Structure 1
Amino acid sequence: MQAKTITAISSKHRGNAGIIYPIAAYFIWGILPIYWKVMKQIPSGDILAHRIFWSFVFLAAIISSMKRWSEFRQAFSNTKSILAVTVAAILISANWLIYIWAVNNNHIVEASLGYYINPLLTILLGIVVLREKSDIWQIIAIILALFGVGLLTYQFGQVPWVAISLAISFACYSLVKKLSSLSPLTGLAAETMVVAPLALGYLYMQVSGTAATYSNLSYGMILMILLTGVVTSVPLLLFAQGTKRVSLTTLGFVQYLSPSLSLIIGIFIYNEPFTLAYQISFGLIWIALAIYTFSRKDVLSKLRRNV
């Protein structure tokens, strides 16, 4: 009986402390639009390829220093693991490409909308797929968010595909990471390795065919390209650590930090328009998040104890 109590306390402590990881990850993601904006002279596809390739180089260096290659090989030891790694690699690559394109084409506000929708979609996946507990307030929050997106679609006469595709791709990636048995470092290294050859091949063709893009780069820009692996991998490692330590519903709630920062950056730094339709849609989603927040006292207590 005493052993069970100690185990429960230990598990609870790990969960409480674990919320720090997603908070740190979402803070970094929230300010990353500034980084990609500085690199806007480089095509979005090139930035994606650099993120993938240099992320793998960075992660491979960490694995080598920690002598964990035997653990890394386990990611490709069976069909189920290979499939999970491949799906995760495709989802995160698609998410990166859409986000980079959105930032460098003045769609930061719409991208932030996607990441406001994403927490509620993550919560929905947790309820439907993982059978996590739900209540009437969670359902109301999800319905309000969907109504907000529907209203925006009606106002503009077209589906906000940037927001929706970002929300779906990252929510599904969160689910895959939650179900994965791989460690955060091993999983992310395996994901980047799967697509690294494609990224390297793409970069070779781009450099050969459009040498002008790279011939006049400053040393500072070259350094930023090399550091894409670091700024990409660090928040993803923090995020992966968080998925192992907190529930998917809690993870979905904390995620609102990133789009809040991005929204502020888009409006006040890059002067993107924040139309009435956006205001109404964001307002409904903010209400949905508020309803979810105040209906989850366990999440709030964790934040108060650890932030």
Structure 2
Amino acid sequence: MLAALAAFTTWGLAPLYFRALGSVPPFEIVAHRVLWSALLLALMLATLRFAGGFERVGTALRQPALIALLTLTALLTSSNWLVFIWAIDAGRLLEASLGYFINPLVSVALGAIFLGERLRPLQAVAVAIACAGVGWRVWQLGSLPWIPLFLAGTFGLYGLLRKRAPVDAVCGLFIETLVVAPLALGWLLWLGAHEGLAFGNGTVTDWLLPFTGVITAIPLMLFAVGARRLPLATVGFLQYIAPSLNFLVAVLLFREPFDTTQLVGFALIWFALAVYSFDLLRAARRPAPRIQ
């Protein structure tokens, strides 16, 4: 429980950290996030010896189909990071939080579409209400709310694909960072050659950027610990901590505008999540069928 709480709380308060890096372009932040995460994970695999971690990494690297799958998941998570950090920099954290609110419902819908999982009646109702919330935003704005839809879609697809990848959380994350590390390093070298690099100027940013690897890798591993040991219903409730904190940070600290139109859209999403959570809790309490 403590591990899961720490993970979701870190994700919820992360916008405060990235706002402190406001002078650094989002692309450079993501590049540092990738490289420092790879270094931290490599050190952990080497020093803590995650039950033969490097051996499992080597085994995975010899499987072309698995590497192709992890390349796709790496691109999904990197693009998710980029849009999230850009949204913070652009003063649109409120929209980003909406994306992570609807993410559980997107995951349920993706499971039904791609895995043939049958939606329980209340799950179908929750998805329909969430669609009504998005539809309300489209009607009011006159365009798709692309930030929440992109964040929910990429993270939902990431979860769907990682579910099918036969690799544990730490090794999988390490391989994902290795896959995109050349792109990240190439971007930083290009910035350095054109004197556009924010890192290395002797400011506090030189300390903040390496720490992005810590706030990337550690919460993911804490989440993996919690997810393995907690009931699904408990994890389902805890996952709302992160977008709730994002929402509060956006409204109370970043002072992003929050009008009646947005309130109606959020209210529909929150109602959908209440229906979904009730169904999740009811399913968790239902006794397992007895084997004759």
TM-score (normalised: structure 1):
0.85
Structure 1 spans left out of the alignment, 5+ residues: 1-18, 302-307
Residues in 1 aligned to 2:163 and 2:55: alpha-carbon distance in whole angstroms: 22
The 1:223–1:276 alpha-carbon spacing in structure 2 relative to 1, beyond 3 Å, is same
The number of equivalent residue pairs is 283
Structure 1 residue aligned with 2:240 = 256
The worse-fitting range, judged by mean Cα deviation, of 46-55 and 62-71 is 62-71
Match in the other structure for 2:209 = 225
Cα 1:300–1:32, aligned 2, differ >3 Å: closer, same or farther?
farther
Q: Which amino acid aligns with 2:164?
A: L
Judge conservation of contact 2:200–2:206 (CA < 8 Å) in 1. no
Q: Which residue of 1 aligns with 2:88?
A: 103
Question: Which one-letter code corresponds to 2:239 in the other structure?
Answer: Q
- Say if 2:46 is the partner of 1:61: no
1:127: how far off? 3.3
Superimposed CA distance per residue, residues 178-218 of structure 1 (whole angstroms, 9 cap, x where no aligned partner): 22211111000000000001101101111221347346442
Query: Unaligned regions of 5+ residues in structure 2, if any?
Result: 286-292
Distance in structure 2 (CA, Å) of the matches to 1:280 and 1:59: 42
Alignment RMSD (CA, Å): 2.4
Deviation at 1:128, TM superposition (A): 3.3
Letter in 2 for 1:28: T
Tell me which amino acid in the other structure corresponds to 2:38. F
Shift in Å at residue 126 of structure 1?
2.8
Answer yes or no: is the 8 Å Cα contact 1:123–1:249 preserved in 2: no
Distance change >3 Å, CA 22–CA 145, structure 1 → 2 = farther
1:25 aligns with 2:7: yes
Q: Is the 8 A contact 2:233 2:280 kept in 1?
A: no
What CA deviation, in whole Å up to 9, does each residue of 1:202-256 have, x standing for no partner? Answer: 01111221347346442x3211111111101112223345566678887555422
Q: How far 1:20 sits from its partner (Å)?
A: 6.0
Kept in 2, the 8 Å contact 1:122–1:248? The answer is: no
Report matched runs for 1:151-300 at 5 Å: 151-211=136-196, 213-214=198-199, 216-218=201-203, 220-241=204-225, 253-297=237-281
2:29 aligns with: 47
| d(CA) in 2 for partners of 1:134, 1:32 | 33
TM superposition score normalised by structure 2: 0.89
Quote the offset at 1:68 in angstroms: 2.5
1:3 — aligned with what? none
Which residue is equivalent to 1:9? none
- Alignment match, 1:81: 66
Deviation at 1:298, TM superposition (A): 5.0
Q: Residue 296 of structure 1 aligns to a residue in which SS?
A: helix
- Choose between structure 1 and 2: higher helix proportion: 1
Describe the shift of the 1:123–1:99 C-alpha distance in structure 2 as closer, same or farther (beyond 3 A). same
Q: Which stretch has the larger CA shift, 19-28 or 62-71?
A: 19-28
Q: Calculate percent identity across the aligned residue pairs.
A: 37
* Structure 1 runs of 4+ with >6 Å offset: 245-250
Deviation at 1:177, TM superposition (A): 1.8
